[in-house]
Structure formats: C-alpha cells, structure tokens
Amino acid sequence: MTDTSYAPPTQSRGLKIALRWGLYLMLGVFAVWYLLPLFVMLTTSLKSLEEIRTGSLIALPREVTFDAWRTAWSGACTGIQCEGLQPYFWNSVMLAVPAVMISTVLGAMNGYVVAQWQFRGANIIFALMLFGCFIPFQVVLLPMARTLGILNIAGSIPGLIFVHVVYGIGFTTLFFRNYYVTIPAELTKAAKIDGAGFFRIFWSIFLPLSLPIIVVTVIWQFTQIWNDFLFGVSFSQAGTQPITVALNNIVNSTTGVKAYNVDMAAAIIAALPTLLVYVVAGKYFIRGLTAGSVKG
C-alpha cells in the first residue's frame, strides 16, 4: 500500500511560508482598517476648510497647513472668538500627575498589607475594595458631589484629584495585591526576624521588586484619568475643566462655520499623551501584566 500522508519537505516548507505570509497579510489588513480613522483625522487636520469641502476624505492634503492645529491649541479663530485647548491641557496635567502618583502609592501599600500582612478581616476588606471597582460612575456622582462640598474642594482641581484617587484605589490595590502574592512570604518572615518593621520591609524589599507592576498601574491610571469625561464635567467649573471637557465644547460648538480640521486637530492633541505613553511603554505594560501570573 502507498502512504499518501507523506508530504515532501519542500512542499511542507512551502505550505508553512504561504501560511505565514497569509497571516501577515491578514494582520496588515486589520492594522490598516484599525489605523484608517487616525489617518483620516491627521490628514483632515492638515487641510484647509475649502479642501475638505471639495476633496476626498481619505486623500492626502494638496497643501499642508497647520492653521487648524494653532487654532485648536491657542484658540486663534478667524472671525469669531473661541478658546483653545492650551489651559485645559495643563489642567489635565496638574490633575493626572498627582492623582496617578497618590493612587499608585496607596495601592502599593494596600496591596502589600493585604498580600503579606494577613489580619482578621483582610479578605473582607479586599473584597469590598474589589466591589468598588465595579460600581458605575453614575452611582457615585451625588454622594461624591456632597463629599466634595463638605470638604470645600468642589469645582477645583484638588477636588478632581480626590475623586480619581478614591475611585482608582480599588484598581491599584488589585494590581499590587495580585503581584505581591507571588513574592515568597519567607522574605517577609526573614526580614521580621532581622528586626525590620512594616515600612522597612516595604521600602527595602517590596518596592524595588515592584517596577513591572508600577508601570502597569501608572499606565492604567493615567489613561483612565486623562480620558475621563464624566467626572470632569460633573465636578469641575470654568477654569478647572480637563481637556476632555474642552474638547467636547469645541467639537459641539455651533458658532460660525463648522471647522472639521480644527475638531480633528483638537482630538489628536487630546489623545497624544495617552498615545505616547502606550507607544513608549506599551511593551513594559504587557510584561508587567504577565510578571505576576506565575508564582515561584
């Protein structure tokens, strides 16, 4: 009998190459499809209004102009009065940086306590914090507004920082706790025998080992805070609004002629920080997510 299941090495190698290139082609098509909106936004922001009205949506600009970017940033509109994104951009920076730092430090200490310093009710406290991660934003609007009023920080950037720190502690605690449970408890026991206390063990042992999960937490928190709109529009006032609220005001403005190039430029400016964070630190984000997945 003839064995028909045997394939010559040359044919098998050719099939693998064809499958590999087919996979690359499929991934390339998906990448183009995914990046097409960004391409349209970028090219539209570099066109004049006249070219947008008469040209193709996906065509490259016939004449590159950065007027829309200047208008979106500084608010130098022609014929009408408008305000650019510049002050709101710095509002978001002043909001996001301290909120990320505070929530990361608190999450690290909470995760350290829950994972390595077991006490009665630790699991219940951790479960309640996890429950806080899944409470919809809309549920906390009224009690949070009341709390900000009592603390006399309503409508201010410190108030927004407080809101994001409180809402982010559950996530940061979850990240650090799941990472710290993979660190052998013998390290903590040995440090206690040597006379090290709570903070000494945290700063000298756990914190130096925490770089992967710190990167994950910082990227997660920065993205959530920078892109937040609901808390920003609910708990801010004129002069303290974050960039997402300002972007919404620009895009929904009905004053004068609709400037699509300005809208696209403003959207790109608002998205640039988070985009740069993922481009620069994206690989560290993936490493950090998988760093604590295996114990030992």
Question: What are the residue ranges spanned by the domains of the chain?
Answer: 9-65, 86-291
CA-nearest of 42, 37, 183 to 114 is: 183
Question: What pLDDT, on the 0 to 100 scale, is given for residue 6?
Answer: 54
Cβ(39)–Cβ(32) below 8 Å? no
Cβ(72)–Cβ(260) below 8 Å? no
| Res. 128: pLDDT tops 50 | yes
pLDDT band of residue 241 (cuts 50, 70, 90) is very high
Q: What is the mean pLDDT of residues 178-199?
A: 84
pLDDT band of residue 296 (cuts 50, 70, 90) is very low
Determine the Cα–Cα distance for residues 135 and 241; give it in Å rounded to an integer.
24
Place of tokens 């044919």: 11
Least confident of 106-115, 144-153, 168-177, 179-188: 179-188
Question: Which pair of structure tokens corresponds to residue 238?
Answer: 């004129």
Cα atoms in the Cβ-side hemisphere of radius 13 Å centred on 160:
29
**Mean pLDDT in the chain?**
85
CA-nearest of 260, 35, 294 to 179 is: 294
Between 133 and 101, the more confident residue is 101
User: 173-204 b/e with 16+ CB inside 10 Å = b?
Assistant: bbbbbebbeebeeeebeebeeeebeeeebbee
Question: Which pair of structure tokens corresponds to residue 241?
Answer: 């609004």
Cβ(261)–Cβ(44) below 8 Å? yes
Question: What pLDDT, on the 0 to 100 scale, is given for residue 207?
Answer: 87
Q: Which fold has domain 86-291?
A: MetI-like fold (1.10.3720)
Question: What pLDDT, on the 0 to 100 scale, is given for residue 80?
Answer: 43
Between 255 and 1, the more confident residue is 255
Question: Which pair of structure tokens corresponds to residue 98?
Answer: 């301290």
Query: What stretch of H or E contains 65?
Result: none
Query: Residues 10-43: pLDDT tens digits?
Result: 667 878 888 889 999 999 999 999 999 999 999 9
Residues near 185 by beta carbon (within 8 Å), at least 6 away in sequence? 116
Cβ(124)–Cβ(62) below 8 Å? no
